[in-house]
Structure 1
Amino acid sequence: MTKILMVCLGNICRSPLAHGILESKLPSDKFEIDSAGTGDYHIGKLPDHRSIATAKANGIDISSQRCRQFQQSDFDVYDIIYVMDHSNYDNVVTLARDADDVSKVKLILEDVASADSLEVPDPYWGGAEDFNKVYALLDYACDKIAVKLTQ
């Protein structure tokens, strides 16, 4: 089974969406998806209500997810670690023990040729429109990832 971890700062906006979106696109008997944050601000809490609403509007339920902080031991558990931006990348790679750990970490938009930027913007300080844009960006990226992983 391939295990994939989605990581953002607080694990309440972007990574829960990415977690739910990719999970909806891959067979659960072959892939396990989870999410975490680099910060410890929201441990044990639900994703942001706007992320839950945005996912629900797109037919995905992320309301059972709980926020957790990325741990060095995640390198032992996950095969691929997708981060949302360069800051997340730096924070995760700082905990890496060796080149093998580092090789697991990728920007989620790395393989999306049409992306204007390699960073998924944080919608936390924005409104519903910002969450919808992030959803669309992650949905497109997860389509590409799902195709790549299932070929």
Structure 2
Amino acid sequence: MTPDRPGAPTIPAPRVPGRYAVALVCLGNICRSPMADVVLSRQVEEAGLAAQVRVASSGTADWHVGKPMDPRAAAALRAQGYDPSTHRARHFDAGWLEEHDLVLVMDEQNLADVGGRSERVQLFRDHDPVGTGGVVPDPYYGGDEGFEEVLTMVERTSAAVVAAVLDSTEQSATERA
């Protein structure tokens, strides 16, 4: 896929034409990646792609498996009209690399934990139209403002990811025709 903006990374073609699976990964799957999951899922739905695009999140550590997201992350989402209530933390395993077309990690440690950068494994903020290539800071040990900052990053980056996925699924459909 050709990026719409200079310096923007490409996303890999879908493994199954007309379908796309995106995994979002952070450390504990209670702050950053579930926030991105909720936002990206809504943006996918609003773009009319819910039947074609699957979004999931997980953490590289298993400390919080089965638990809801951090209450501060949930509050930041609710304040902007999102529903965080269905999230339950999951643990990343190597199978996710084969099950998802694109794995977006929140920071360099998460990148190392999932096996490093590849065509299908990228930093989430590689797609951020502001500050491309940075990390999503972990707000866990800070105050509410950190969760609001993360939500702002997640919303704008998710919009860019949806645009790239839309382009990818359209290109895939054109190639099948």
Q: Same fold (TM over 0.5)?
A: yes
The aligned counterpart of 1:32 is: 54
The aligned counterpart of 2:26 is: 8
Gaps of 5+ in 1: 95-100
Larger radius of gyration: 2
1:106 equivalent to 2:128? Answer no
1:21 equivalent to 2:39? Answer yes
Q: Aligned-pair distance for 1:58?
A: 1.2
Out of 31, 37, 61, the position equivalent to 2:83 is: 61
1:90 equivalent to 2:112? Answer yes
Out of 38, 43, 46, the position equivalent to 2:68 is: 46
Q: CA RMSD in A?
A: 1.5
Q: Aligned-pair distance for 1:75?
A: 1.4
- TM-score with structure 1 length normalisation? 0.91
- Tell me which amino acid in the other structure corresponds to 1:68: R
- Tell me which amino acid in the other structure corresponds to 2:50: S
Matched residues, percent identical? Answer: 32
Give the distance between the partners of 1:74 and 1:149, measured in 2 at CA.
18
Q: Aligned-pair distance for 1:117?
A: 5.6
Q: Give the secondary structure class of the aligned counterpart of 1:102.
A: coil
Give the distance between the partners of 1:71 and 1:93, measured in 2 at CA.
11
Q: Give the secondary structure class of the aligned counterpart of 1:122.
A: coil
The aligned counterpart of 1:97 is: none
Out of 109, 119, 142, the position equivalent to 1:126 is: 142
* Structure 1 residues 99-131: Cα deviation after superposition (integer angstroms, max 9, x where no partner): xx9321110111224217610000001111110
Report the count of equivalent residues: 145
Give the distance between the partners of 2:108 and 2:166, measured in 1 at CA.
27
* Structure 1 residues 46-94: Cα deviation after superposition (integer angstroms, max 9, x where no partner): 1101111111111111211110110011112111000000010000016
Q: Which runs of 4+ in 1 moved over 3 A?
A: none
- TM-score with structure 2 length normalisation? 0.78
